[in-house]
Every structure is written in C-alpha cells, then in structure tokens.
C-alpha cells in the first residue's frame, strides 16, 4: 500500500475528476468525442511507455519530440511514394530506434549526461529537418487514412494498439528479468554492476526502445490526418515527461511503473475537455496542468525526504 502510494493517489485523483465530470458536465461522456480524445492521446501513450523505462533507468530523453517529427516526415514521404503501411510502420520504428541508438551511444558509451546529449540531438534533429524540408508539408495518399478502414475502426485500432503496448510493457517490467535490470540500474548502477548486470548495455537499450516506440507513435499519428507538417512533434517531450512524472515515476530513477504513467497521462489529457465542458476559459489549461505537475513533484520531494535515514 505504502509502496504504491503515488500510483494510488494519481488514480484516485483521476477518479475524482471523472466523477466530478459525471456530476457537473455529463456531456463529457459522449462516446464519439471520448474516442477521438483517446485516439489523439494514443501516440503520446506509446512514447510514454518508452519514457517510463528511460526515466526509471535514471536517464531522460528530451529529443523525443524531434525524433517524432523526423520519423513522421520520413514515414509520410515513404507513404507518399506508395510504400504500403505494412512497410512504412516498421521502417519508421527502425528509424526511431536508430535515433535512439545515437542518444544511447552518447549517454551509455561515452557516459555523457543524458539531459545535455538529448538537448543537443533535439535541436540538431529539429533544425536539420527544417533545413532539408524548408517547412514543406507532405500530402498523404487516401489509402493511409485510418489504415484504409472506416474512421471508427481506425480509431479503435489505434487505441487498442496503444493499450496493448501499455499492457505488454507493464507485464514485461513486472515479469521479465530485463525489467528488473532497468530498476536495478536506475537505483544503484554500481550495485547492479557488481551483481553481474551490465548497466551501460541496459541504458543503451532503453534509449533504443524509446526511439523505436517514438517511430511507431509517429505512424500512429500519421494515419489520423491527410497531411503531415514538420512541426508535428513539437512539445511532445514535455507532454510525455509530464505524464510520466505525474504518474509517480521518480525522476531520480529506480521507481515507478507504467500504470502510474498511464493514469498521469489520462489526468493531464482530461484537463482540456473538462474545461470546455465546464465552460471555463481554455487559458486555464496549461496553468492547471502545471499545477498538477508541481503537486506531483512536491509529493515526490516530501516522500524522499521522509525516506532519508
């Protein structure tokens, strides 16, 4: 109970918001807008799955937004050339994995601080993309839209895929030795090394995994609109990191899980529609999200201070 205090409190907060909406703004619970909301958030959830691993490993990756843009544009160009989605999706994931590997090599191989490395790759990727593309949009063939399915079916596919990945990663972190390694490295890399775990390899792999998931998420976004603009992933990193932190994953590593990050993501995602339905000005959205993040960080700080002995 005490161990999962943060996950439980985020879930309770989410429950309270949903309950409050049921009371004051029942219009929130219309199936079609809800499905649209879930669809919009599905790619973010997929990136968050990878970010949870990276942060538990006591690292961070702020270049995911730029990775997302690069993968989106490249995937869109391939699709525009007539590649089938069955090839575009893995290609985009592979490109993402490659970008993640660059971060991984710099962080794990050269032991550079991840915040600086990924800041550099964030800017480099973003500016490189602007330079090459000059801000040009890519028009997508109709067959890409919702995988060529009906809109509803496409939306359900995306939401289903994101939830399946969440469950898969949740189970893996709990039931695979590899998941245990991520926690061990994030808590005490030296103890892990003495115990025969290879901290540098684990660190490298979580960056690769996050990159691959980001590439995948880019295609999940791609199928939702008729064209792709190059700024598509801007600000994604903040959204993802906020969700993960609100969900109780400790930025100092070694603690947290996917369920918490999922609840954190939903909580932050509910703010905007909730304001709409409660007829509150949309300017409040960012302020409220900021307050939620601050609250989560304060809760972690208090918790850690109590644990000092």
Binding residues for other proteins (CB under 8 A)? 3, 174-181, 183-184, 187-188, 190-198, 254-255, 307, 309
Smallest gap from Cβ 66 to other proteins, in A, equals 33
Residues 174 and 192 sit within 8 Å (Cβ to Cβ) = no
Rounded Cα gap, residues 94 and 243, in angstroms: 25
CB < 8 Å & 24+ apart, contacts of 22-31: 24/277, 24/278, 25/274, 25/277, 25/278, 27/277, 28/273, 28/274, 28/277
Rounded Cα gap, residues 247 and 305, in angstroms: 19
Q: Which is nearer to other proteins, 37 or 172 (CB)?
A: 172
Residues 255 and 182 sit within 8 Å (Cβ to Cβ) = no
Q: Which is nearer to other proteins, 187 or 272 (CB)?
A: 187
Smallest gap from Cβ 189 to other proteins, in A, equals 9
Q: Which is nearer to other proteins, 131 or 194 (CB)?
A: 194
Smallest gap from Cβ 196 to other proteins, in A, equals 4
Q: Which is nearer to other proteins, 110 or 177 (CB)?
A: 177
Q: Quickly count: other Cβ atoms within 10 Å of residue 231's Cβ.
A: 14
Smallest gap from Cβ 249 to other proteins, in A, equals 13
Q: Which is nearer to other proteins, 35 or 299 (CB)?
A: 299
Q: Give 138's strand partners.
A: 228
Q: Quickly count: other Cβ atoms within 10 Å of residue 84's Cβ.
A: 12
Q: Quickly count: other Cβ atoms within 10 Å of residue 101's Cβ.
A: 17
Smallest gap from Cβ 194 to other proteins, in A, equals 6
Q: Which is nearer to other proteins, 131 or 177 (CB)?
A: 177
Smallest gap from Cβ 178 to other proteins, in A, equals 6
């Amino acid at each position: 109970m005490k161990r999962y205090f943060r996950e439980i409190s985020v879930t309770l907060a989410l429950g309270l918001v949903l309950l409050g909406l049921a009371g004051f703004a029942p219009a929130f619970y219309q199936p079609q807008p809800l499905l649209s909301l879930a669809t919009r958030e599905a790619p973010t959830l997929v990136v968050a799955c990878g970010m949870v691993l990276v942060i538990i490993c006591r690292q961070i990756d702020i270049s995911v937004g730029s990775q997302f843009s690069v993968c989106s544009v490249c995937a869109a160009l391939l699709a525009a050339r007539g590649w089938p989605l069955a090839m575009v999706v893995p290609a985009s994931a592979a490109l993402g994995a490659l970008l993640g590997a660059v971060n991984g090599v710099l962080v794990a191989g050269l032991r550079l601080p991840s915040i600086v490395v990924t800041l550099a790759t964030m800017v480099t990727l973003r500016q490189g993309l602007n330079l090459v593309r000059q801000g040009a949009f890519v028009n997508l063939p109709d067959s890409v839209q919702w995988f060529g399915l009906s809109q509803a079916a496409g939306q359900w596919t995306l939401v289903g895929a994101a939830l399946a990945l969440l469950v898969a990663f949740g189970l893996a972190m709990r039931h695979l030795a590899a998941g245990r390694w991520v926690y061990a490295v994030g808590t005490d890399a030296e103890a892990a090394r003495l115990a025969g775990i290879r901290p540098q390899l684990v660190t490298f792999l979580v960056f690769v995994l996050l990159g691959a998931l980001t590439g995948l998420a880019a295609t999940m976004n791609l199928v939702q609109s008729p064209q792709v603009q190059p700024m598509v992933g801007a600000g994604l990193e903040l959204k993802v990191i906020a969700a993960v932190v609100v969900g109780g994953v400790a930025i100092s590593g070694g603690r947290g899980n996917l369920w918490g990050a999922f609840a954190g993501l939903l909580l932050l995602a509910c703010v905007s529609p909730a304001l709409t339905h409660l007829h509150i000005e949309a300017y409040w959205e960012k302020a409220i999200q900021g307050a939620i993040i601050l609250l989560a960080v304060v809760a972690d700080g208090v918790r850690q201070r109590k644990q000092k002995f």
